[in-house]
Structure 1
Amino acid sequence: MDPVIIVGAGPVGLTLALALARQEVPSVVLDEGPGKDEPRLARTAVLREDTTALVERLTGTPLDELGLRWAGWRSMRRKQVTNEVTFGDDEPAPLHIAQHELTGALRTAVAGERLVKLTVDSRLDTVEQEPSGVTVHTRGPRGTWWRGSYLIGCDGPRSTVRKLLDIRFPGRTAVERHAVAALRAELPWDGEALFHRTPPWRTSGPSAGEITGRPLPDGVWRLDWLLPPGKDLVTPELLLARVRETLAGWSEGPPPAYDLLDTGVHIVHHRLARRWRVGRVLLAGDAAHLLGAFGTQGLDEGLRDADNLAWKLALAWHHGPHEALLDSYQTERRAAVSGRLRAADQALPLLRGGSGIRAYVPGAARGHDVLLSDGHLGRGPLGAPGLYDASPLAPRHLEAEVPVETLPGAPVEDVRVTAEDGSFVRLRDRFGRGALLVVLIAPGTGVWERRHWVGAGLMPRLAAAVTALPSPAELLVAESYPGAAAHTVLLIRPDGHLVTALNGVRPADLYTAAEATVGGGPAAGTDAGVEVGTGTGTAEGATAGSAAK
């Protein structure tokens, strides 16, 4: 079968290529650039726990060596600290990393991956598709025709793939503008990120006094100043004045010396593509959505797109068309991003509208700061990972379903589990292999040798049920899971989202849930009901303890 064609060699496209390769799916990555990334310390990303783990799992590179996990977070209003967070087990630290470092780690992993072909200086100009596959043409020194099974547009905000398919990309332009500077300086907060509203030295309006300071390795800081609405030019003189007054305001004595390393202007747009799928062509990352107000990170959502799509695409590639499964990518991911955009739009008049917040948020300024912190810290409706609770893949009417602390459709907790070979691993290490995960909660298995419980109690019956599932699955055992009683059985998707929790070994319910999770199985014959077209402008389409008891 033809490889998957991925257009765009940014973090999302490279992550998708690696995720597909882990599931034995070949891909061709078309990079319109020369294959090198300019070092820019003013262009960074903040990755949450789940997306950091995803990249580390795919690259084998500890990102702590390239970025910095914050020691804490503090919010300030004028001279008062309104919120402090110390990161630890209860609240894992975000990772702040320069984007060229992240892309470099992904490119290094791709270079050693036999199933990924990366071709540079290849700009897409034609897309043609039919029920059996996709044909594209690239121009440039390496211009040629390429044949693929599917085409994924990961080619950014100005996506050529999206334009060739005539997919609308409505939304809001310049929701926020920030002046950005990366500098090396010794600031009072060692390894802590800072969000400072209305600093006492800035009094020229509500948007003139919002500063974010985020540390990077080697004493480097990225500072962002929210700019007033409009299109006023950010001159070097204005930026230097902001740097000097900020460093002076944060220092009790003379302002510290600093080295200015990089500058820029960060403009936030909010847009959402109408369709994420047209036949065998799909969109991901900035080609499908733009967000970023209030500290939210669009790259996080792009990496989650890749994680959601990879296992579904792999099943379709290996076993034939899975229309319901591929359609669920758009349904799940578009709903998740749409929810965050909607939350940001609802918060905008509260957070940028001056005194209007008093009518909506008790505690006024303090509530204001909590909302703003949510986006930066990956919490609440502004920042938390999406919940696929309304997914078309969710099973219905399971008699044995029981609640645990993780809601169906939410990412599962990363607990220690025993693998089939008897080794202890983290649950998250088993994600992304294309297999469903079945986890038995069995207290005592961590202290008894596996040979004593693997053939006793519930295990043989559960192992037989897992073998009979309609899709490949791996059986794991955990001592405990938050909110789960002994003998609870968890069914988890390959991307780490909970399908259901069952009260004991219930083969019929387990089979029903697994079948729903993979979209009911592959469709027979050709891609029924999928819109396809030819040429460069196809129409907008469809889109040992108790285990031995």
Structure 2
Amino acid sequence: MEPVIVAGAGPVGLALALALARRSVPSVVLDSGDGEVVRRAARTCVLRPQTAALLPGVETARWRVWRTERRRQCVERVELDDETSPLHVEQYRLEHALREALADEKLVRIATGSRLDTLEQDAEGVTAHTRGPGGTWWRGSYLVGCDGARSTVRKLLGIGFAGRTSVERYAVAAVRTRLPRPDEALLHRDPGGRGGELTARPLPHAAWRLDWLLPPRGDLVTPEEMLDRVHATLALLHQGSADDAPPAYELLDTGVYATHQRLARRWRVQRAFLAGDAAHLAGALGVQNVDEGLRDAANLAWKLALAWHHGARETDADEALLDSYSAERRAAVGARLRAVDQALPFVRRGGGGLRTLLPGGGAGGPLGLLTDGHLGRGPLGCAPVYDRSPLAVDGKHAVRTDTAPGEPVRDVPVVLLDGTRARLRERLGGRGGDLVVALVAPGTGVWASRHWLRAGLMPELAAAVEALPLAAELVVMEEYPGATAHTVLAVRPDGHLAGAFHGARPEALRACARALTAADA
């Protein structure tokens, strides 16, 4: 089989190549640049813990408190834990960490100076041409366009990109300074009593990202105006501390950016796919587009890998499995964009009717909706749920836990069969195979694995996992929220619950495997 061609060497393309390599699938990453990561401190990513767990280690900042203020009065203070606290990192640090991880992967080739200009498909693969001295032809089994908002792949496939431009516009600055609340992020509405909106979020190494909402269309922000904004904001954030004088700071980077709302009409054409900014643009009201793009990569990687290992000619099951990528991810992102569109009039212009348009939203008013978007909860920010997925498992043997089928699993301590201790999410992303089977077995955290490997239902369950038609790993855990002893959770490699049942049920495990490989399609 030919490698998978990944067009684009941003975070999504690099993460996809890494996820494929973990599943023994070779790839070629077409990098239109020179391979150097551009250091832009003001270009950052907010990642949900579920997303970050699938990536290589990178230094991030986490805020343990989210504070919302209006006219210098605190209206909400949200304390966060490891499950709910977002991770904040400069995009160049994330890209550098991904490139470092890929440097050790023999299955990944990054081809710099390779700008795609031609794309052809046939029944067995994809042929792509890149510009350069003499030009280069590439042959691949599949191709994924992770080449950004102006995606060449999307244009070559003739896919429309419907939506709206410049929904919101921000001035942004990254500064290094010391502030009184280093582990708190702040949303400040109407800080000076003259309108406006300010967001301040910590970054690694005592740096901060400051965002100011601008009119959707207006004059350019001059360097002098940017400095005035920084001075005024730091003075505001420092008020009430022991030293009223504004702190010294180092200006690291500045910029102005606009958020757009767009969704590609199709995410798959035969053997070519779209992911990340090539497939969707979001970012208004705190929605995090890079996080959504990384979820695209996590969702697509294991499905591509299963189809790739089946051979060049796709079966009906492979077709159904690959189609499920668009069915799940496009539906999830589309729902997010609709929620933002419905909330915008209420949040920005004081419109009404939101409670009837946006279920679960509006109860906390505009500031509550903004908090939801920034913290990854509610209709604007919560993790996607694939409860209506074409890969949904028959609920014949299902039992209930605090995680419903299709939702992301909670990150709990687990024990591997060799006695190694880990976290559940550390076994995802291909590290534990295409399916992670987790048994709730109180006492296993105390006793050495040699005592419980041959006890109770472990032998039967281990044999059932071993017999599955896909790579699977069995782990045990002391407890899981809402689950009773001997509950078994089947977890997809992208961290979503495939199903939960009680006891060693080989037929239930086989049903999960059939569903996740679309074997019944």
Task: Give the TM-score normalised by structure 1.
Answer: 0.88
Aligned equivalents of 2:267, 2:354: Cα separation in 1: 39
Aligned equivalents of 1:392, 1:105: Cα separation in 2: 34
Amino acid at match of 2:135: G
CA-CA distance at 1:202 after TM superposition: 4.3
Q: Which residue of 2 aligns with 1:2?
A: 2
Aligned equivalents of 1:364, 1:271: Cα separation in 2: 24
Q: Which residue of 1 aligns with 2:28?
A: 28
CA-CA distance at 1:122 after TM superposition: 0.6
Aligned equivalents of 1:365, 1:25: Cα separation in 2: 47
Q: Which residue of 2 aligns with 1:212?
A: 199
Deviations 1:57-112 (A, max 9, x none): xxxx3x23xx32223221111121111123334x4422211111111111111122
Contact 1:31–1:120 at 8 Å: present in 2 too?
yes
Q: Given the alignment of the two structures, is residue 68 of structure 1 paired with residue 61 of structure 2, yes or no?
A: yes
Q: Which residue of 2 aligns with 1:327?
A: 323
Contact 1:471–1:515 at 8 Å: present in 2 too?
no
| 2:342 aligns with one of 346, 354, 362 | 346
Q: Which residue of 1 aligns with 2:271?
A: 280
Aligned equivalents of 1:440, 1:75: Cα separation in 2: 40
SS in 2 for 1:447: coil
User: Judging changes above 3 Å, is the alpha-carbon distance between structure 1 residues 326 and 364 closer, same or farther for their aligned structure 2 residues?
Assistant: closer
Deviations 1:467-493 (A, max 9, x none): 332322222222211111111111111
Q: Which residue of 1 aligns with 2:304?
A: 313
Aligned equivalents of 1:358, 1:160: Cα separation in 2: 37
Which blocks of at least 5 consecutive residues in structure 2 are unaligned? none
Q: Which residue of 1 aligns with 2:516?
A: 517
Aligned equivalents of 2:458, 2:176: Cα separation in 1: 57
Mapping of 1:28-427 within 5 angstroms?
28-56=28-56, 61=57, 63-64=58-59, 67-89=60-82, 91-141=83-133, 143-199=135-191, 201-203=192-194, 208-252=195-239, 253-320=244-311, 321=314, 322-354=318-350, 356=352, 366-396=364-394, 398-427=395-424
CA-CA distance at 1:231 after TM superposition: 3.5
Amino acid at match of 2:14: L
CA-CA distance at 1:431 after TM superposition: 1.0
Contact 1:351–1:357 at 8 Å: present in 2 too?
no
User: Judging changes above 3 Å, is the alpha-carbon distance between structure 1 residues 439 and 250 closer, same or farther for their aligned structure 2 residues?
Assistant: closer
Amino acid at match of 1:197: R
Deviations 1:208-255 (A, max 9, x none): 410001122233221111011324322223322322332333343343
User: Judging changes above 3 Å, is the alpha-carbon distance between structure 1 residues 383 and 359 closer, same or farther for their aligned structure 2 residues?
Assistant: closer
Aligned equivalents of 1:42, 1:55: Cα separation in 2: 21
Amino acid at match of 2:190: T
Contact 2:177–2:248 at 8 Å: present in 1 too?
yes
Amino acid at match of 1:264: G
Amino acid at match of 1:480: E
User: Judging changes above 3 Å, is the alpha-carbon distance between structure 1 residues 422 and 261 closer, same or farther for their aligned structure 2 residues?
Assistant: closer
Contact 1:10–1:154 at 8 Å: present in 2 too?
yes
Contact 1:416–1:426 at 8 Å: present in 2 too?
yes
Deviations 1:452-475 (A, max 9, x none): 322232122222222332322222
Contact 2:119–2:156 at 8 Å: present in 1 too?
yes
Aligned equivalents of 2:206, 2:480: Cα separation in 1: 39
Amino acid at match of 1:490: L
Aligned equivalents of 1:195, 1:365: Cα separation in 2: 18
Q: Which residue of 2 aligns with 1:526?
A: none
Aligned equivalents of 1:466, 1:364: Cα separation in 2: 45
Contact 1:416–1:424 at 8 Å: present in 2 too?
yes
User: Judging changes above 3 Å, is the alpha-carbon distance between structure 1 residues 365 and 264 closer, same or farther for their aligned structure 2 residues?
Assistant: farther
Amino acid at match of 1:491: A
Contact 2:343–2:354 at 8 Å: present in 1 too?
no
Identity level (%): 62
CA-CA distance at 1:357 after TM superposition: 7.6
Aligned equivalents of 1:273, 1:4: Cα separation in 2: 21
Task: Give the TM-score normalised by structure 2.
Answer: 0.93
Amino acid at match of 1:95: L
User: Judging changes above 3 Å, is the alpha-carbon distance between structure 1 residues 449 and 111 closer, same or farther for their aligned structure 2 residues?
Assistant: closer
CA-CA distance at 1:355 after TM superposition: 6.2
CA-CA distance at 1:189 after TM superposition: 2.2
Aligned equivalents of 1:375, 1:346: Cα separation in 2: 13
Which segments of structure 1 move beyond 6 Å, counting only runs of 4 or more? 357-365
Aligned equivalents of 1:355, 1:473: Cα separation in 2: 51
Q: Considering only aligned residues, what root-mean-square deviation do their CA atoms show, in Å?
A: 2.1
Aligned equivalents of 2:6, 2:355: Cα separation in 1: 48
Contact 1:7–1:30 at 8 Å: present in 2 too?
yes
Aligned equivalents of 1:436, 1:158: Cα separation in 2: 35
Contact 2:18–2:102 at 8 Å: present in 1 too?
yes
User: Judging changes above 3 Å, is the alpha-carbon distance between structure 1 residues 263 and 515 closer, same or farther for their aligned structure 2 residues?
Assistant: same
Which blocks of at least 5 consecutive residues in structure 1 are unaligned? 524-549
Q: Which residue of 2 aligns with 1:534?
A: none
Contact 2:84–2:375 at 8 Å: present in 1 too?
no
CA-CA distance at 1:257 after TM superposition: 3.2
Deviations 1:255-298 (A, max 9, x none): 33333221111110010101111010001100000000111110
